[in-house]
Amino acid sequence: MMRKFLSLSLLSVLTVSLAFAGGERKRPVPEAIPNERQPVDMNVPINRAPEPDWSRLTPTVGTFTTLTGFYDYQSNGGAVQHIRVNPANGNIHVVYMLATDSTAGLNASRRVGYAFSSNGGVSWNNFNNITVPLSRSGFPTIDLLKGANAGLPVIASHPDGTPTIAKLFVDSPEGAGAFSELNSPPILGQALEPIWPFVGSASDGSMIVAASQNDQNLTTGVGHHNRMQNDFTTWDPTWTTFPGEVQSGGRYPVHANNTGKVGILWNTSNGTAVLGNRWRESTNNGVTWSAPTNVLSQRIVGADTFFSYVHADFVYDGENPLMIFSEFKVDQGFVGDADIIFWSQATGFVVAVPFDSTKYTVDPLNQRFHRDSHGWPSIGLSGNTIVVAYQAFQPDTDRHGWHYGDLWYVASSNGGASWGAPQRITNTPTTDEKYPSVSKWNAPGEFNMVWSQKTGGSGLYAFPGSGQPPAPDTIRTYQMFLRVNPIQFTTSVDEGGAGLANSFKLSQNYPNPFNPTTNIDYTVGQSGPVSIKVYNMLGQEVATVVNQNVSPGTYQATFDGSRLSSGVYIYKMTAGAYQQSKKMVLMK
């Protein structure tokens, strides 16, 4: 079979010309974003709710990062950039927007929280606020520095100030939670300054920030990017304005590779313009940039026309950007036939997650950028495997009629040319999971992710949509972490039903003794939550190997004991009523 290779410039010509091939089509009206230029009354009494009793909470899937609050809105439709894993040591860094007050002080108590784990997400150091002195802030993104300070986390957010503008915070040493606020970027000198920042660390240790002004009435001139040099002091003297159309609100992920390339992928429309997603790249760590290229506007498939929506993300695989988008059929607006589409230079466009009414429920309501049946994809790499996590609405609703969301993922082992069957991450009636974020780097055979979760209600209290039900209930939200291991590409059941496991089984690990990694095979007889946890001889839990919803089949998980001392350990599998334990020996 001959594969077509399209350059970005040629693709630009094709997508623009195709955009007008079918005449005028229906387009959804744009959605509002939070009005961050309205001053918040900081004199409102803040009634800080007490922290939950973590000893009494048992997560259904994953583990708590211990970041929690009442601000259940995390993004204006852009990719959620909330987790990074350090390739050098496996340390995990996460950020989360939260509010400590569930009453009138909700908006005034909005904060950026940070947490750190050095043991694979088993336990976390929690830092509920990164700004000193304490100030209202929000919409964080995180990356890990490269260059001389490799591994230090850098967080971008926009704390309140005069003016309110995007700012950077760097932690040192890694995981200490002692964030230093770097110099403010240059101001535009206009009524509105760039906020809603994304940050990406270039290979020389400099930091690239993309941000936008809070003006939804404009489609040009509101998006900007700038570069903080690796001296932690010097910004480029002026912001560079995104050429052409751009939507404000935080829809422009920024990532870099290890050889000087930096990319920005930005959304130009909210379903109201023919231009969908544009791309520009630097090959010298953000000093100079290419002209923008239109990557995806409209896609013509037979008689159908698809628009890209605001959800988009990308990751570098070596020198090559791998992109993921949400899209929907134009004639149906947001009420059906949505899919998630992958693009690379080698593959062109490939549907990674097609619409499937047996898996995803169309939500006719506006949960503020959560339209579509499924979307909000986040992309990462696990060795040579590409992983995309996404959210999807389910049939169950809360008492107001808001649909609950679950999380899924797909994976590709051939560069995105084809994709495995969708795999459930959560299957939790009456629990709402939104805003998935996958680490860009993951060890081979696994991937790490976080999301926002609340139980007993859906919808968005902090910034509700325009749907028909009453306002959602105020419910505490939690940031959840999960390490998915192993990564599944297909289910274990073929079309004739062969291969269905009819029992549960936990096998002896191999090799045994081991140093430092060992494999654990296990068989699942029916769909549901499965956990495999490791305990020392005192009965203390020291690691979680598996903790996720699993379909019937036989799997293999890899346990890494490099952070444990030599000795005998117990590993235990729990799946519904089934429980089985076995011993293994770590010998260093």
pLDDT at site 286: 97
27 vs 490, higher pLDDT:
490
480 and 515 both lie in a single domain: no
Residue 428 inside a domain? The answer is: yes
Q: How confident is the model at residue 495 (pLDDT cuts 50, 70, 90)?
A: very low
Q: How confident is the model at residue 41 (pLDDT cuts 50, 70, 90)?
A: low
pLDDT at site 441: 97
Integer Rg of the chain from CA? 23
- For residue 44, pLDDT over 80 is answered with no
C-alpha 128/C-alpha 96 separation (Å) is: 9
pLDDT at site 486: 85
pLDDT digit string, tens, across residues 301-347: 777 778 788 889 999 999 999 999 988 776 655 555 678 999 999 99
Domain of residue 20, CATH code: 2.120.10.10
C-alpha 269/C-alpha 277 separation (Å) is: 8
Q: How confident is the model at residue 217 (pLDDT cuts 50, 70, 90)?
A: low
**Mean pLDDT in residue range 183-199:** 92
pTM of the model: 0.80
pLDDT at site 38: 60
C-alpha 349/C-alpha 84 separation (Å) is: 27
- For residue 372, pLDDT over 50 is answered with yes
Residue 14 inside a domain? The answer is: yes
pLDDT at site 488: 83
288 and 336 both lie in a single domain: yes
112 and 217 both lie in a single domain: yes
Residue 192 belongs to what domain range?
Answer: 8-484
281 and 135 both lie in a single domain: yes
Q: How confident is the model at residue 246 (pLDDT cuts 50, 70, 90)?
A: confident
Q: How confident is the model at residue 300 (pLDDT cuts 50, 70, 90)?
A: confident
Residue 413 inside a domain? The answer is: yes
- For residue 138, pLDDT over 50 is answered with yes
**Mean pLDDT in residue range 554-562:** 88
Give the DSSP H or E segment for 479: strand 477-484
- For residue 260, pLDDT over 80 is answered with yes
Least confident of 32-41, 431-440, 544-553: 32-41
Q: Which residue has the tokens 């000198």?
A: 189
Residue where one domain finishes, among candidates 484, 517, 542: 484
Closest CA to 313 of 205, 204, 449: 449
pLDDT digit string, tens, across residues 72-100: 889 888 889 999 999 999 999 999 999 98
438 and 578 both lie in a single domain: no
451 and 531 both lie in a single domain: no
230 and 342 both lie in a single domain: yes
263 vs 420, higher pLDDT:
263
Residue 572 inside a domain? The answer is: yes
C-alpha 272/C-alpha 32 separation (Å) is: 13
181 vs 248, higher pLDDT:
181
Residue where one domain finishes, among candidates 429, 455, 484: 484
- For residue 516, pLDDT over 70 is answered with yes
- For residue 502, pLDDT over 60 is answered with no
How many domains is the chain partitioned into structurally?
Answer: 2
Domain of residue 534, CATH code: 2.60.40.1930
pLDDT at site 450: 98
Q: What is the mean pLDDT of the chain?
A: 84
DSSP code per residue over 122-165: SS-EEES---SS-------EEEE--GGGTT-EEEEE----SS--
476 and 569 both lie in a single domain: no
Q: Which residue has the tokens 């299957």?
A: 427
Q: How confident is the model at residue 20 (pLDDT cuts 50, 70, 90)?
A: very low
539 and 404 both lie in a single domain: no
Q: What Å distances lie between residue 22 and 47, 171, 258, 268, 327, CA to CA? A: 55, 52, 42, 21, 17
Instruction: Dig out the tokens for 489 from the structure.
Output: 């590409």
Residue 494 inside a domain? The answer is: no
22 vs 332, higher pLDDT:
332
- For residue 270, pLDDT over 70 is answered with no
- For residue 532, pLDDT over 90 is answered with yes
Which range has the top average pLDDT, 28-42, 181-195, 539-553? 181-195
C-alpha 115/C-alpha 83 separation (Å) is: 10
Which range has the top average pLDDT, 365-369, 400-404, 436-440? 436-440
- For residue 116, pLDDT over 90 is answered with yes
**Mean pLDDT in residue range 385-391:** 96
Residue 3 inside a domain? The answer is: no
Beta bridge partners of 63: 481
Residue 490 inside a domain? The answer is: no
